[in-house]
Amino acid sequence: MLRWIDILKFAANGNPEPDREVDKTDEEWESILTPEQFRVTRQHGTERAFSSEMCELFEPGKYQCVCCGTVLFDSGEKFDSGTGWPSFTQPAKENAIAYYKDDSHGMSRVETLCNTCDAHLGHVFPDGPEPSKLRYCINAVALEKVESNEAKATFGGGCFWCTEAVFQRIKGVIAVRSGYSGGDVINPTYREVCSGRTGHAEVIEVTFDPEVVGFEDIVRVHLGTHDPTTLNQQGADRGTQYRSVIFYRNDEEKQAALDLIKEYEGALNKSVVTEVRTFVAFYPAEGEHQNYYNGNADRNPYCAAVIEPKLAKFRKAFPEMIDKQADVR
């Protein structure tokens, strides 16, 4: 997660490498943009406050650069700042946006540009909501909203090497990332989380297509493939970082999680200790923890001993949900 200190470093020392670069002449930009889009994005203009309905728009989707189509922001990071300009707490990717010091108009600000095509977007300020405290204040005319059939869910069910492997094999799941959530430390490391002192749990972030698989189906897999009855423990793994938890993003998800837990308790005739709490932030784990089972099944005996029995449980309990292309092992 980017914080103000990171933004200041980019503005002072240089920006991250973009995935690609788009370079056009002013004449070429003029031919594909409206005069207002051209004035704001190519001539560092500012649109009138409250001039766009985009401020009030919070439906799921992605926000692309109006010039080059690069995805700059996700609706999940959009918030109502009351300023009259669309506002976000994070970019879609850390290298999506470039930052430059802007001392114009007697103010000291940080200007934001599309890192792919140098379109002027707006500014970023350190007065946004927790935990990043960033407010990307963006001209609506520099953005294009595109529909997206993607939703996110975040669960903790013990070691993320295991839970990631299960969720990667569900039909309708687009991506799974291992990481940390539920604690107070921003951008924690694996070592810090393992100390048990950050308040974070090992979790996975599941990106899924709700038209193929629903939140409730995914919660069922979650409850059915780890042990939600043992407090702060999964098998031999003990500690609050291994606790069972479901994070919700709205009241419907909260109610669905509580109902399913109740149903599951009835079926087990045992109490379930799974925490149900509001989602605040997800911090991706280090690269070596991502796609762990698929990349290490032959090397680490933990995979055969601990992960494979969990996969077998998943295949047996949820055969209709298996994505046969993803479940190649």
Which residues have C-beta within 8 Å of that of residue 67, sequence separation ≥ 6? 22, 29, 32, 33, 37, 41, 42, 114, 117, 119, 142
- Give the integer Cα–Cα distance in Å for 239 and 233: 6
Transcribe 31-97 into DSSP letters. Answer: HHS-HHHHHHHHTT--PPTT--GGGG--SS-EEEETTT--EEEEGGGEE--SSSS-EESS-SSTTSE
Nearer to Zn ion, 70 or 87 (CB): 70
Q: Which of 67, 137, 162, 303 is catalytic?
A: 137
Closest distance to Zn ion from the beta carbon of 41 (Å): 8
Nearer to Zn ion, 55 or 98 (CB): 98
- Give the integer Cα–Cα distance in Å for 156 and 247: 8
Which residues have C-beta within 8 Å of that of residue 103, sequence separation ≥ 6? 109
Query: In this structure, what are the phi and psi dihedrals at residue 115, rounded to the nearest 5 degrees?
Result: -75, -15
Nearest to 4 by CA among 180, 92, 123, 176: 123
Nearer to Zn ion, 70 or 178 (CB): 70
Q: Which of 159, 162, 194, 303 is catalytic?
A: 159
Nearest to 66 by CA among 98, 24, 114, 20: 114
- Contact predicate 23/117, CB 8 Å: yes
- Give the integer Cα–Cα distance in Å for 316 and 82: 50
Nearer to Zn ion, 111 or 205 (CB): 111
DSSP lists the bridge partners of residue 281 as none
**Residues in contact with Zn ion by the rule CB under 5 A:** 65, 67-68, 70, 114, 116-117, 119
Closest distance to Zn ion from the beta carbon of 230 (Å): 49
Closest distance to Zn ion from the beta carbon of 21 (Å): 10
For residue 114, indicate whether it is catalytic.
no
Which residues have C-beta within 8 Å of that of residue 313, sequence separation ≥ 6? 224, 225
Nearer to Zn ion, 117 or 141 (CB): 117
For residue 117, indicate whether it is catalytic.
no
Closest distance to Zn ion from the beta carbon of 126 (Å): 24
Closest distance to Zn ion from the beta carbon of 177 (Å): 25
Closest distance to Zn ion from the beta carbon of 74 (Å): 16
> Cα dist. 153→45, 243, 290 in Å?
38, 17, 17
Nearer to Zn ion, 98 or 117 (CB): 117
- Annotated catalytic sites, by residue? 137, 159
